[in-house]
Amino acid sequence: MFESLKPQPADKILALMQMYREDPRSEKIDLGVGVYKDAEGNTPIMRAVKAAEKRLWEEERTKTYTSLAGEPAFHAAMAELILGGGYPVDRLAAIATPGGTGAVRQAVEMVKLAAPGATIWLPDPTWPNHLSILNYLGVKTETYRYFDEATRGVDFDGMLADLGEAAAGDVVLLHGCCHNPTGANLNLVQWGEVASVLEEGGLLPLIDLAYQGFGDGLEADAAGTRLITARLPEVMIAASCSKNFGLYRERVGILMALGGNRAVTQGTLAFLNRQNYSFPPDHGARLVTMILTDPALRADWQAELEEMRQSMLGLRESLATELRRLTGSDRFGFIAEHRGMFSRLGATPAQVEKLRTEHGIYMVGDSRLNIAGLNAKTVPILAKAIADAGI
Ligand code: LMR
């Protein structure tokens, strides 16, 4: 039977991660996969995570199954983090999922159950795995314009025009903050206009929130999601704790669905967990719950997250400044304006390839670079390589 299997296309981001690991050059620079790195190039376990793990190790008495949907305390803590203190408890159904990707996958499964004919609209561009998952699940997809290559900002008119074409009942995937791969984001006024288009068109938003706290801060990064949740009758939110808690390998995520008959929605989500993997992973979700509900741990987590955010902002500023100095132009000013881990540089695939082969600088083929992969030493090296390559 297995002879009939055809080779699957490699995931570009993960293939690049492997290439980097296998590159013997000591001066190589990894700006590929979206992982936070400190000034020494390490991806640290956050202080509050380490403290919670120690406490959990001492206190935990059993590893028996928890709830199929994950712990209600985890749902509540995450809902408060994302939607704020007064979140609508009576509208909220939720499941813990293996990472944000698991949440996206379960959201699409929900759409397939609720509205099998619906089209899911994706921003162009989006995280490549979005499209891959949707295609694999056989869902109809369309793209809406999102990024303006010329200004390196959001093509907002194009976005609204394309969403105006969506049929009632279609689903619109939105990046809650820190757009991956471009780094260009909606402001709050624009979120309001998007909400109006969704309302008028009878469209259902699916918000992918993978980088809360990496852009303009924990509250500001959730503002668009909160606005949409306040205005639309039905909303899905797929959130990840991989980045803002540094829990990548523990696979901590949540899918929230607001609206409809809460009991039926909750039952459906739990059913989907049972069909796909039964109980969701617990360890990381438990750590997150401990951190968010313990004032001291939470304060320390927020402080460290803020340090990480400030470090990324500083790297953005210094890269933009260095490029201004080297090129004598402000055409890379957008790097300082973008938010989150990523910016799309605007290099051709050949230039990206040249940076890798000649300088050992790794970025995704569409010229997405992970700002958090830089440090004070590598910023000038990257800037010079970009200037020399004539990008
Ligand atoms: C990324 O976009 O690099 C991250 O979200 C990691 C991944 O799984 O692709």
Q: What is the mean pLDDT of residues 56-62?
A: 97
Question: What are the pLDDT digits (tens) for 331-386?
Answer: 999 999 999 999 999 999 999 999 999 999 999 999 999 999 999 999 999 999 99
Catalytic, 6? Answer no
C-beta separation of 168 from 203 below 8 A = yes
Give whole-number Cα distances, 145 to 5, 98, 169, 236, 242, in Å: 35, 30, 20, 21, 28
Question: What are the pLDDT digits (tens) for 258-288?
Answer: 999 999 999 999 999 999 999 999 999 999 9
Q: What is the mean pLDDT of residues 37-61?
A: 96
Closest listed residue to residue 78, CA positions, set 289, 272, 234? 289
Please report how many Cα atoms fall inside a 13 Å half-sphere around the Cα of residue 36, on the Cβ side.
Answer: 28
pLDDT-derived band of residue 391, with 50, 70 and 90 as boundaries?
Answer: confident
Dist CA 360 CA 356 (whole Å):
4
Query: Over 90: is that where the pLDDT of 62 sits?
Result: yes
Question: What are the pLDDT digits (tens) for 149-179?
Answer: 999 999 999 999 999 999 999 999 999 999 9
**Residue nearest atom 5 of ligand 1, based on CA coordinates:** 34
Domains and CATH numbers, the chain: 11-45+302-388 (3.90.1150.10), 65-293 (3.40.640.10)
279: left (phi over 0), alpha (psi -120 to 50) or beta: beta
CA of 331 from ligand 1 middle (Å) equals 27
Dist CA 245 CA 55 (whole Å):
17
C-beta separation of 257 from 235 below 8 A = yes
Three-class secondary structure of residue 202 per DSSP: coil
C-beta separation of 117 from 139 below 8 A = no
End-to-end CA distance of the chain: 48
Closest listed residue to residue 140, CA positions, set 125, 159, 121? 121
DSSP 3: G
Catalytic, 127? Answer yes
- Exactly one of 208, 222, 301, 336 is catalytic; name it: 208
Q: In ligand 1, which atom is closest to the CA atom of 33?
A: 3
CA of 298 from ligand 1 middle (Å) equals 25
Q: Which residues contact 309 (CB under 8 A, 6 or more apart)?
A: 213, 214, 215, 217
- Exactly one of 48, 96, 243, 336 is catalytic; name it: 243
The pLDDT of residue 238 is 98
Pocket residues for ligand 1 (CB within 6 Å)?
13, 33-34, 127, 129, 180
Dist CA 383 CA 345 (whole Å):
11
- Exactly one of 52, 94, 121, 127 is catalytic; name it: 127
C-beta separation of 332 from 391 below 8 A = no
C-beta separation of 116 from 331 below 8 A = no
Dist CA 279 CA 268 (whole Å):
14
CA of 174 from ligand 1 middle (Å) equals 16
Question: What are the pLDDT digits (tens) for 185-243?
Answer: 999 999 999 999 999 999 999 999 999 999 999 999 999 999 999 999 999 999 999 99
Q: From the CB of residue 249, how many other CB atoms can be counted at a distance below 10 Å?
A: 10
Give the distance from CA 179 to its chain's centroid.
Answer: 7
Catalytic, 208? Answer yes
